[in-house]
Chain A
Amino acid sequence: MKKRNRITVGILLFVGVMTLIGYNYIYQDHRDIATEDSVYVLTASQLIQDFQDHEADATQKYLNKTITVKGTLQHIDETSLVIEDVIFFALSENTDPPTPEQINKLIQVKGRCIGYDSLLEEVKFDQASIVNP
């Protein structure tokens, strides 16, 4: 009787743990770009140069990576910002855009590179946040 109880408890425990592991796998969290370390830290002009020199190589190198870009802030709106007319950042949901006073000033922005926009010749990022120097 005692032995059977122990086996039952063992099986239940095993099933429970497997369910938990399975659930955590299927409903795993999204990446949190803001807390990830940047794989590359570089200037806006370096980054755009890489894409314009060889788009395929640059895509392979930077796509889906967390990157911090330094440059002059050129344009802001409610959900996005542009650095030096060549790097576009869609801000992460809970990030406030910089203030208009910061336009034309140096800024550092961290985000996930989603690729090269060949229509407007810009590199695009999403889930971006402002890095305080």
Chain B
Amino acid sequence: MKQTLLCALFFITLSQGFAQKYITKTGMLDFEGSVEAFEPVKATHSTTTAILETSTGKIAVLGLVKGFRFRNALMEEHFNENYMESDTYPKATFNGSIEDFSITDSALKKEYKMQGDLTIHGKTKRIDALVTIIKNGDDIDLETDFIVAPEDFDIEIPNLVKEKISENIRIAVRFHLVKRS
């Protein structure tokens, strides 16, 4: 009896010690701040790192700012040098949690509330968004999008180009998360 109890205790401790993590190193972020009738202001980031802890619903995301690719090389240069100042602030991060997340939920596709701290350009802002979790075999697909404003992160847009860049930047997120072995 005592042995069984000890054995059970051992396995409980073991399973807690190995919190299950799902990760990606090639997560997609789409950034769009276009204004109609002007050249599109958009970029794609395809090397975002994300870690989802399925036991707690905690999520950590890191996008290296230099990884945003624009079609227009000059726009990419200005994005890095004038707006994001990526030499000084090379990282954009998100630390948050998915409310009532459950990996054992039987639904293949389910929407959850997510909140957390988004840090860009050295400034942090709280973000609330809806996130869609899709079970894809043994993997998890995570999709969300939200709107941010450059001024929330102390990013100044000069008057000269103000009308060509939207005040609301849409960030769309697509992660294909794989269980870390």
Contacts and interface: CB of A to CB of B under 8 A. Distances in A.
Interface of A: 25-31, 59-60, 63-64, 79-80, 88, 90, 112, 114-120, 122, 124, 126
Interface residues of B, number: 22
A117 B24 CA distance: 12
A39 to B, nearest CB: 15
Given A30-B73, A114-B66, A120 B47 contact: no
Interface string B128-163: 000000000000000000000000000000000000
Contact of A117 (B64, B69, B73, B76): B64
A114 B47 contact: yes
Given A30-B73, A63-B66, A115 B90 contact: yes
Contact of A28 (B25, B46, B66, B73): B73
Given A63-B90, A114-B66, A115-B66, A124 B47 contact: yes
B36 interface: no
A67 B58 CA distance: 35
Given A63-B66, A80-B25, A114-B64, A120 B74 contact: no
Which interface residue of A112, A119, A120 has the most chain B CB atoms within 10 A?
A: A119
B60 interface: yes
Nearest to A120: B49
Contact of B26 (A60, A90, A114, A116): A90
A117 B62 contact: yes
Nearest 4 pairs between A and B by C-beta?
A: A115-B64, A114-B66, A114-B64, A30-B73
A28 B64 CA distance: 23
A112 B49 CA distance: 17
A129 B172 CA distance: 28
Contacts of A79: 26, 46
A99 B87 CA distance: 35
A30 B62 CA distance: 24
B23 interface: yes
Contacts of B47: 80, 88, 90, 114, 124, 126
Which interface residue of B23, B47, B49, B69 has the most chain A CB atoms within 10 A?
A: B47
A119 to B, nearest CB: 5
A80 to B, nearest CB: 6
A120 B66 CA distance: 18
Nearest to A118: B62
Given A29-B73, A90-B47, A120-B49, A115 B91 contact: yes
